[in-house]
């Protein structure tokens, strides 16, 4: 009985879609469009999130450098200090040892 109901429902849906001018090729095209839109939104969202994370990281780094500069100035009673760092030489400057 369930198989007959499924067949009847499938035939009814097929007829309704045919009445609207929708066939299997139309459904495939519609599905492709929906999938492409969803994929595009997901990719854009991922790039926006990554860009936001980079921006926040840059801002945090700058603010940290400012806070360190202020703290060091307080300790040594100096008005101007330039803090620079070279990420490639975080292990120390080998030339300075010579």
Domain limits of the chain? Answer: 7-84
pLDDT, one tens digit per residue, over 28-52 is: 899 999 999 999 999 888 888 888 8
Alpha-carbon span 55 to 49, nearest angstrom: 10
Confidence (pTM): 0.44
pLDDT of 1: 57
> Given CA atoms 13, 15, 20, 25 in this order, what sign does their dihedral have?
positive
Alpha-carbon span 13 to 17, nearest angstrom: 6
Q: Which residue has the tokens 């198989």?
A: 3
| Residue 81 · residue 69 · CB < 8 Å | yes
pLDDT, one tens digit per residue, over 61-95 is: 889 888 888 888 778 876 665 667 665 555 554 44
């Amino acid at each position: 009985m369930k198989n007959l109901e499924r067949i009847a429902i499938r035939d009814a849906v097929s007829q309704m879609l045919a009445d609207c001018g929708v066939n299997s090729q139309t459904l495939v095209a519609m599905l492709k469009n929906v999938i492409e839109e969803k994929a595009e939104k997901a990719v854009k969202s991922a790039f926006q999130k990554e860009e936001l994370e980079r921006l926040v990281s840059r801002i945090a780094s700058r603010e940290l450098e400012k806070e360190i500069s202020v703290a060091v100035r307080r300790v040594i009673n100096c008005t101007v200090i330039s803090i620079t760092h070279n990420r490639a030489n975080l292990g120390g400057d080998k030339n300075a040892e010579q």
